[in-house]
Amino acid sequence: MKKILLLTTGGTIASRWTEQGLSPGINCQDILQMLPVLQENFIINSKDIFNLDSSNVQPEEWQYMAEVIAEALPRYDGIIITHGTDTMAYTASALSYMLQNLNKPVVLTGAQIPIEQMFTDAEMNLQVAFAAVNIGISGVVIAFDGKIINGCRSVKVRTLGFDAFESISAPYMGEVYADGVHIKSKNTCVLRKGTFKLKKELCTDVFLLKLIPGTNPEIFDWLQQMKYRGIVIEAFGAGGTHFERRNLTEKLKKLVESGVSIVVCSQCLYEKSDLSLYEVGRRLLECGVIPGRDMTTEAIVTKLMWALGQTENPLEVRQIFDTNYAGEVTLE
């Protein structure tokens, strides 16, 4: 029988109604009690590591989770983490970089309806998570609504629908059918060979800016004054910013020259950004920004925090973005 560690962190799956609204209140023992069949088929140890709505899960929690996982990993066949869905994609992406050369499954799951409530999707999602461990997927993945998704390709796309997560610009790793898990791409999360290593340093001085037509260039002066070391820009279409009347590129050039790492991606959810296609993108490349290619915003923000946690040298940050660690990017 496979040995699994179940870590609980809160989220809707572990929530109950309170006077303040839905709030996490169920512990790992309560969750385990709801899963008698899984308990018959796996050796399951469990631990509550925190009990938060995932809006309150921040880089410090990612680091703590990574520490707990790294310490427990040698003793288990896989680790399953229950987590709120709202920021699960950020957590999954961050863990993908912090847990380098991961050779076992680390599976995040959660639910749109609390596990104690009628019509909950929690049991099904947990079963998919256990199935992902059972088939021996490697890397950090999200198991949800019958799908197994590479963690750093996942995005929450629905607030209420049970199909809350999609795999962006990458196929699902697996899908669960009545005859079992159909594996599409088992090892796309783990691309680099070598021994497992915890690299948990992160820099939280990272800002995400979604452009609107008419964004005031002075915003970048403020970001510089606030000492941000990394900025992610969600630009238009294939990756453009305006330079007529309100010249954003001029400001970005100054920021890059001062040592700030700037990554530009698209506001479009699907398909890649290509800054070389239009003049409005090429001008950005000339400023020295790093192209986000086909990465999700979640994967870029967390990669930038992680890269700036590893090095102070902007050239090395660029090299990190030229490296595919966990299937997060397609490098031409």
Q: Which residues bind ligand ASP (CB under 6 A)?
A: 11-12, 53-54, 84-86, 110, 112
Nearer to ligand ASP among residue 86 and residue 328 (C-beta): 86
* Residue 8 phi, psi (nearest 5): -110, 145
Nearer to ligand ASP among residue 85 and residue 169 (C-beta): 85
Residues in the chain: 332
Q: Closest CB to ligand ASP belongs to which residue?
A: 84
Residue 226 Cβ vs ligand ASP, minimum distance, rounded to whole Å: 27
Q: Is 12 a catalytic residue?
A: yes
What is the rounded CA–CA span in Å between residue 123 and residue 60? Answer: 29
Residue 201 Cβ vs ligand ASP, minimum distance, rounded to whole Å: 25
5 within 8 A of 46, measured Cβ to Cβ: yes
Residue 19 Cβ vs ligand ASP, minimum distance, rounded to whole Å: 17
CA distance readout (Å), 102 to 14, 57, 64, 184: 27, 22, 17, 19
Nearer to ligand ASP among residue 151 and residue 327 (C-beta): 151
Q: DSSP string spanning 92-109?
A: HHHHHHHEET--SEEEEE
Nearer to ligand ASP among residue 107 and residue 255 (C-beta): 107
| Of residues 156, 143, 24, the one with CA closest to residue 90 | 156
From the candidates 8, 12, 188, 241, give the one annotated as an active-site residue: 12
Residue 299 Cβ vs ligand ASP, minimum distance, rounded to whole Å: 18
232 within 8 A of 208, measured Cβ to Cβ: yes
Catalytic residue list: 12
